Amino acid sequence: MKTYPVLDVCISAVNGDLAFAAIRDMVSSRTKGYVCVAPVSTIVDARVDVNYRDIVNKAAMVTPDGMPVALLGRLQGFKDVRRTYGPDLMLKTCDEGRAQGFRHFFYGATRDVCDRLEHNLKVKFPGIIVVGKIAPPYERNVRPLEADVIEQINAVKPDILWVGLGSPKQDLWMSLNRAVLDVPVMIGIGAAFDFHAGVKPQAPRWMQVCALEWFFRLCSEPRRLWKRYLVGNFLFLFWLIRKALFRK
């Protein structure tokens, strides 16, 4: 898969169709890998933390989740790159994966959110196969899975394990537990659980197209997200400008 660099993070040159095709091929070949979605905040976190950057760069695919991240790909000559938004990729995979009989497993959020998520997806996509869900107790740091949890996941043989722990925690979790889980594809999907469960509002499509989703989410959860968007977005622009000037 072709990639392009954004502040030393290797972003996959994909759009929604190409990303789904890659997931489908991984499931078909039973190739173990994990998928990271990369908005600006992920790029910033990876810039600050070299170990986290290494984890992201080892992913089977890193989707351009943010509009600026996708735009930088097109500016580097990858004309087919489009924003590959995590929640949209989840819906596309659940929808088109029905033809392949994809078996889905959810890990993250709360029990109520997982139940709502499963219900809503089954209503939206009749015939979708959900083989299990786990709402783990909250922990600040990630750690290896207990043997009984590993057995619970592996026993139902999922094709895709959706991980909704938030970034960067979900990426660290996937990297740490990748080897012990008999699942072809693990996808860190962030707030998609809450969006598709209907417990958090999602930015209107016009705001997403105009690269204003960050502003919508900031207004929705200012206390939790102010640092990610106000400080993180500034750092992202600063580092891009500095890199461009040094290159010249």
**DSSP sequence for 176-234:** HHGGG---SEEEE-TTHHHHHHTSS----HHHHHTT-HHHHHHHHSHHHHHIIIIIHHH
pLDDT tens across 202-212, in order? 888 888 888 88
What is the phi/psi pair of residue 141, to 5°? -110, 155
| pTM greater than the 0.85 cutoff | yes
Residues in the chain: 248
Question: What span, in angstroms and rounded, lies between the C-alpha atoms of 19 and 12?
Answer: 9
**Residue range of the domain that includes 75:** 3-206
Per the domain annotation, does 25 fall within a domain? yes
pLDDT tens across 157-200, in order? 999 999 999 999 999 999 999 999 999 999 999 899 999 999 99
Amino acid letter, 181: L
**Does position 235 have pLDDT exceeding 80, yes or no?**
yes
**Does position 143 have pLDDT exceeding 80, yes or no?**
yes
Q: How many domains does the chain have?
A: 1
Per the prediction, the chain carries an average pLDDT of 94
Average pLDDT on 230-247 reads: 90
Per the domain annotation, does 98 fall within a domain? yes
201 pLDDT band, cuts 50/70/90, is confident
| Three-state secondary structure call for residue 11 | strand
**Does position 105 have pLDDT exceeding 70, yes or no?**
yes
Per the domain annotation, does 137 fall within a domain? yes
Per the domain annotation, does 230 fall within a domain? no
% of the chain exceeding 70 in pLDDT: 100
Per the domain annotation, does 201 fall within a domain? yes
CA atoms within 13 A on the CB side of 148: 2
- Confirm if 44 and 111 have CB atoms less than 8 A apart: no
What does the pLDDT read at residue 138? 87
CB 60: neighbour CB atoms within 10 A? Answer: 20
Of 26-30, 54-58, 71-75, 140-144, the one with minimum mean pLDDT is 140-144
Per the domain annotation, does 122 fall within a domain? yes
**Does position 248 have pLDDT exceeding 70, yes or no?**
no
Average pLDDT on 95-107 reads: 97
pLDDT tens across 110-129, in order? 999 999 999 999 999 999 99
Average pLDDT on 5-24 reads: 97
Per the domain annotation, does 180 fall within a domain? yes
Per the domain annotation, does 244 fall within a domain? no
pLDDT tens across 43-97, in order? 999 999 999 999 999 999 999 999 999 999 999 999 999 999 999 999 999 999 9
